[in-house]
Chains A and B, each alone.
Chain A
């Protein structure tokens, strides 16, 4: 098999969400597709990211439920936590999903080469290592879906015991007494939340003026308030200069402030594109200064017939579902079918911390910056009957709409939520934003009672001019 050139309609480098979505969607259209994957299909999301992290967050949720069971008259005594069981459960879930995905790809007759793929200049992809090292696959088209890897900061080498990234964290079978999360973005807040809920004393260190800097500030405030109430120490605007390990603990040095002594450092300062070694010389594929692949809105790189999707693409949100959507755009473009590019300003975002955050569209600040005259309404979950029933009333729904001449809300520009199950509630908001509905149009639709979604409905009514509860 080695060195013999095998021809495909599409060769995909990387079997993560972007890569496998391209393969499945393309194969469904009758294209002959190969994936080159150095590890297991499913990628970061399935094996080292979204999916395992959510299993641990669910473990934390179960623990909270048990802790508060006495509020319902259910006494649970002698509750213990064995994190290794949760770790096993996570592995089982991941394994089942992996097998399902592998079966799906096999069923669509997608060829999978095991090893790291490198694009050569004539649309051939060489497998440089792994079980299929030496294989040369030539594509009429090539899709770069090599994904991303966690970044770290100077002075913090990842050792897997004291300093971890998400990669190592998600393999832990026991949690430390104290942990410091560096980086208070979506990933950092998920880790901080689950650690705290599992009994670890957590500190978040963030260089920006607030945690969840990309979210609407009021939604970020809900999370910040909840974190503080649960004893998470949040320190923003800090400059970290290094750390000094000593007997299984370490002290993180912060410029102009006291250091933080901790048992574990969880690094969550973003992810860089996995483009080292991805391209041979002369492919014509443009890589930007940050190491990401430059692609246009139809996912075409600067080299003819070479596409890029997923985390490897410059300037686009690193979300599995964005990778899926980009893969569909790329395949449609390859097939010559009309494709509508991904509208990156309006993709759904979901952060599975406690409380959860979900949003879509412009934040209030971003809408104003774009020159919109806006109307904003927000409704807290405190008054929601279902939220009181489940005993989780922390959170808010905030909707931003374009202001009409009469002062009422016009087209909905952004929907931002924090609180119980908002990651599952965002759907209606996503439709409203992407279908470009006005507050009035969306408010005319009914939400079931009692349900958490009534808070969204009530906010819409208020935006349209007159609410039931909300003025």
Chain B
């Protein structure tokens, strides 16, 4: 992914104008193409102005709010020197700098009458809910006229009379927008090539026999086993462990393995196992499980999502043959795996070929066709298959 973030969208302010904020207290949430992060207040004082509202996209380092640190109550005339807050220490996240300064002198303004905020699609009555559902009308498509915008029976009946909801405009989640932007940019900027081979999966029968936990008690998945072989094969195919930005093709000496993860209704994230090259299956399992736990508890940091050099996309379902993944920029290749399937396998080792029950799976590689070609990609996959077949599970786990 990108080495730095240049802009972010403010998704939520935790404080309102007039609120007292402590230094380092979460001030607002910013959504970047990487992750949503809470930004701490750079100073203690009173939030006197919000310059960038919720939904605004701001450049790194731009001024988003004013905090009065003079200790005077909000709205009171104060005259203190303007002090620029130091930039946020997190270089990777957007530095949404909150400058601290004195607010303009104001003569006791008339307090504004708060606007009547209205909810949409609020259904108070179960009767109304049933009318909508019988009529095939989505509550979110009905403008309510009841208190607080709630949908009354009249609103519901009117909406049903107009016919069932054909289309509903659904706002995309931040995660989906991030995913969409990244995928669009990647597929438009990079000519994708794709190769897939079918490989022997008897290692997974062995794994089932030995048990799918490491000696430390970490769960082992098919994806981890393939990851291990994929990472080791990269040692011989260094041009696939690379990034390509602008006109610079950079080979990386460390393998930082991204693992593709879907988030329910919120797009995808790619947590990164840093320095994965020397890991045993046992160590890799622990690292991946740690990332998955942080993902589940929404505690992934920007660092967890940075610096990937190669990515694996696990099988999305138990019958998937293969997927053709889109490259995570600015990497140059992404390995995909289908499900490990139990299938008839032709054995040619004896005098006459025999059909036996065996396991097979498809490995695929999407690659940046500007810097790789199909022969190299297929060779890499063949090497992964060899390493997979020859893996010493006993000692690895």
Whether the pair A436, B153 counts as a contact (CB closer than 8 A) is yes
Q: What 1/0 mask marks residues of chain B from 72 to 84 whose CB sits below 8 Å from any chain A CB?
A: 0111100000000
Whether the pair A340, B124 counts as a contact (CB closer than 8 A) is yes
Docked complex Cα distance between A300 and B277 (Å): 59
Q: Is B161 an interface residue (CB 8 A)?
A: no
Docked complex Cα distance between A286 and B153 (Å): 34
Q: Is B358 an interface residue (CB 8 A)?
A: no
Q: Is B181 an interface residue (CB 8 A)?
A: no
CB neighbors of A among B83-132 (8 A)? 108, 110-114, 116-117, 119, 122, 124-128
A436: contacting residue among B18, B76, B113, B125, CB under 8 A: B125
Q: Is B235 an interface residue (CB 8 A)?
A: no
Docked complex Cα distance between A300 and B110 (Å): 15
- Chain B residue nearest in CB terms to A434: B125
Q: A122-B74, A298-B117, A304-B114 are in contact. Are A441 and B127 (CB under 8 A)?
A: yes
Q: Is B329 an interface residue (CB 8 A)?
A: no
Chain A residues with Cβ under 8 A from B164's Cβ? none
Q: Is B48 an interface residue (CB 8 A)?
A: no
Q: Is B146 an interface residue (CB 8 A)?
A: yes
Q: Is A207 an interface residue (CB 8 A)?
A: no
Chain B residues with Cβ under 8 A from A160's Cβ? none
Whether the pair A437, B111 counts as a contact (CB closer than 8 A) is no
Task: Please give the distance in Å from B201's CB to the nearest CB on chain A.
Answer: 50
Q: Is B5 an interface residue (CB 8 A)?
A: no
Docked complex Cα distance between A302 and B110 (Å): 9
Name the residue among A286, A303, A436, A437 with the largest chain B CB count within 10 angstroms: A436
Chain B residues with Cβ under 8 A from A424's Cβ? none
Q: Is A123 an interface residue (CB 8 A)?
A: yes
Docked complex Cα distance between A340 and B144 (Å): 12
Whether the pair A303, B122 counts as a contact (CB closer than 8 A) is no
Chain A residues with Cβ under 8 A from B211's Cβ? none
Docked complex Cα distance between A140 and B16 (Å): 10
Q: Is A297 an interface residue (CB 8 A)?
A: yes
Whether the pair B148, A436 counts as a contact (CB closer than 8 A) is no
Task: Please give the distance in Å from B273's CB to the nearest CB on chain A.
Answer: 37
Whether the pair A302, B128 counts as a contact (CB closer than 8 A) is no
Whether the pair B19, A140 counts as a contact (CB closer than 8 A) is yes
Docked complex Cα distance between A435 and B150 (Å): 12
Q: Is A236 an interface residue (CB 8 A)?
A: no
Whether the pair A434, B124 counts as a contact (CB closer than 8 A) is yes
Chain B residues with Cβ under 8 A from A342's Cβ? 147
Q: Is B152 an interface residue (CB 8 A)?
A: yes
Task: Please give the distance in Å from A345's CB to the nearest CB on chain B.
Answer: 9
Name the residue among B19, B75, B153 with the largest chain A CB count within 10 angstroms: B153
Q: Is B387 an interface residue (CB 8 A)?
A: no
Whether the pair B20, A436 counts as a contact (CB closer than 8 A) is no
- Chain B residue nearest in CB terms to A295: B114
Whether the pair B124, A305 counts as a contact (CB closer than 8 A) is no
Chain A residues with Cβ under 8 A from B128's Cβ? 435-436
CB neighbors of B among A333-360 (8 A)? 338-343
Docked complex Cα distance between A434 and B117 (Å): 22
Q: Is A134 an interface residue (CB 8 A)?
A: no
Q: A122-B74, A140-B19, A305-B18 are in contact. Are A298 and B148 (CB under 8 A)?
A: yes
Task: Please give the distance in Å from B149's CB to the nearest CB on chain A.
Answer: 9
Docked complex Cα distance between A434 and B113 (Å): 29
Q: Is A317 an interface residue (CB 8 A)?
A: no
Given contacts A296-B113, A304-B18, A411-B154, 20 further A-B contacts (CB under 8 A): A123-B18, A285-B111, A286-B113, A297-B148, A298-B114, A298-B148, A300-B114, A304-B16, A304-B17, A338-B122, A340-B119, A340-B122, A343-B147, A434-B125, A435-B124, A435-B125, A436-B125, A436-B153, A438-B127, A441-B127
> Hey, which bits of chain B sit against chain A, CB under 8 A?
16-20, 73-76, 108, 110-114, 116-117, 119, 122, 124-128, 146-148, 150, 152-154
* 20 A–B contacts from the bound complex (CB under 8 Å): A122-B74, A140-B20, A296-B113, A296-B116, A298-B114, A302-B113, A304-B16, A304-B17, A304-B18, A304-B114, A305-B18, A338-B119, A339-B148, A340-B150, A343-B147, A434-B125, A435-B124, A435-B126, A435-B128, A438-B127
